């Protein structure tokens, strides 16, 4: 099973993000696979294909690990085109977390994952919310297009980390929740 960790949004935040996706779709109608509203999340750590036999052990270790950390807030930064405007592959919201708690959780989870023989992440933590995957929308004036979106000023209170299963289909991924891991509510 294909797994990843993420933080989720309340529905009114998903709606605001999706409104910006609809604005972007007017300027880039083709060449992108946009994320469906129900699939919007803050990406934390991709695990990839995982043997179902280790899920119980994984859940136990992550639950113990995560509850040691308090909840925290994340805010929206700018929309970015990754890796750059000349070779676009993804379009996402960069997310900002100033307390440093997310990095500590990431490091603690990396330690637990290594005990379960997961390969260490070769990338540092980059909190983001993917809006779309770019297939062939090149030669766009990205800077002009991105000026049309509405800023999102709300902060996201992260009270739990969610483990998702991602089932790939021809019409896009289907996400289902495997387990939620509550953080400590002491702030």
Q: What is the mean pLDDT of the chain?
A: 94
For residue 187, being part of any structural domain is answered with no
Q: What pLDDT, on the 0 to 100 scale, is given for residue 186?
A: 61
Q: Assign residue 121 the CATH number of its domain.
A: 3.90.1140.10
Residue 32 reports pLDDT greater than 60: yes
Q: Catalytic positions, please?
A: 41, 128
Nearest to 75 by CA among 124, 13, 15, 164: 13
In this structure, is residue 20 part of a structural domain?
Answer: yes
pTM of the complete model: 0.92
Phi–psi pair at 71, nearest 5 degrees: -65, 160
What would the pLDDT profile of 47-83 be if each residue is shown by its tens digit? Answer: 999 999 999 999 999 999 999 999 999 999 999 999 9
Where in the sequence is the domain holding 25, given as residue range(s)? 2-182
Say how far apart CA 118 and CA 47 lie, in whole Å. Answer: 8
pLDDT in tens, 149-165: 999 999 999 999 999 99
Whether the pLDDT of residue 108 is over 70: the answer is yes
């Amino acid at each position: 099973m294909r797994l990843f960790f993420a933080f989720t949004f309340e529905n009114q935040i998903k709606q605001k993000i999706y409104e910006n996706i609809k604005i972007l779709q007017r300027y880039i109608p083709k060449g992108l696979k946009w994320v469906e509203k129900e699939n919007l999340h803050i990406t934390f750590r991709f695990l990839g294909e995982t043997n179902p036999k280790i899920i119980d052990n994984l859940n136990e270790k992550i639950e113990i690990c995560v509850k040691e950390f308090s909840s925290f807030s994340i805010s929206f930064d700018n929309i970015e085109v990754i890796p750059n405007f000349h070779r676009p592959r993804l379009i996402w919201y960069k997310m900002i977390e100033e307390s440093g708690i997310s990095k500590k959780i990431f490091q603690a989870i990396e330690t637990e994952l290594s005990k379960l023989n997961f390969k260490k992440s070769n990338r540092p933590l980059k909190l983001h919310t993917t809006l779309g995957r770019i297939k062939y929308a090149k030669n766009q004036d990205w800077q002009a297009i991105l000026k049309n979106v509405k800023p999102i000023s709300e902060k996201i209170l992260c009270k739990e980390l969610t483990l998702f299963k991602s089932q790939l289909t021809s019409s896009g991924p289907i996400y289902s929740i495997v387990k939620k891991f509550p953080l400590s509510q002491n702030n």
